[in-house]
Amino acid sequence: MKILVCPLNGPRPVSEFAYGGEVRIMPDPDTCSDADWTAYVFNRSGSPGHKYEWWCHIASGYWFVVLRDTLRDVVLKTLPADSVRAGLPPPDARSPSEPAP
């Protein structure tokens, strides 16, 4: 079974978690164009890559952020939810030792 390291609960089986989709920043609905709003509502980045995602540890109801390579299914990093507000670093910032996907 795949193991996910929860920032609160430590390593747990992935079946204890729910996937909440990619972290996406909402444009300001008062100022953005209709096209931008539509793109935000519907469009997704469908190609593989390093993506920040919302995950929830169901048993403890704890939401957090995972940086994952969606081509290889490798978790690169997990972060607490408030790191979104603080501003996430670019997802493709790889450490030099890490192999390219």
Partner 1 sequence: MFTQHAALKPAYDVVIIGAGGHGLAAAYYLARDHGVRNIAVLEKGYIGGGNTGRNTTIIRSNYLTPEGVKFYDESVRLWQDLSADFDLNLFYSTRGHFTLAHTDSAMRTMRWRAEVNKHFGVRSEAVDAAFVKQAIPMIDIDCGGHAPILGALYHEPGAIARHDAVAWGYGRGADRRGVEIHQQTEVTGIRVEHGRVVGVDTTRGAIAAPKVLCAVAGFTPRVLDMVGLSTPIYIHPLQAMVSEPVKAWLDPIIVSGSLHVYVSQTARGELVMGASLDPYELHQTRSTLDFVEGLSANMLDLFPFLGEVKVNRQWAGLSDMTPDFAPIMGVTPIEGFYLDAGWGTWGFKATPVCGKTMSHTVATGRNHPLIEGFSIDRFARYQLTGEKGAASVGH
In the complex, the residues that contact partner 1 under the rule CB under 8 A are: 1-2, 15, 18-19, 22, 34-35, 38-39, 41-48, 51, 53, 70-73
> 86 vs 90, which CB is nearer to partner 1?
90
> 2 vs 85, which CB is nearer to partner 1?
2
> 41 vs 87, which CB is nearer to partner 1?
41
> 7 vs 49, which CB is nearer to partner 1?
49
Distance of CA 3 to the CA centre of its chain: 16
What six digits make up the tokens of 62?
């704890």
As measured in angstroms, the least distance from the Cβ of 33 to partner 1 is 11
As measured in angstroms, the least distance from the Cβ of 61 to partner 1 is 17
At residue 74, the 3 state secondary structure works out as: strand
As measured in angstroms, the least distance from the Cβ of 73 to partner 1 is 5
Give ∠ CA 87-20-37 in degrees, rounded to 5: 65
Residues 6+ positions from 60 with CB-CB distance below 8 Å: 8, 9
Measured over all CA atoms, what is the biggest interatomic distance in the chain, rounded to whole angstroms? Answer: 46
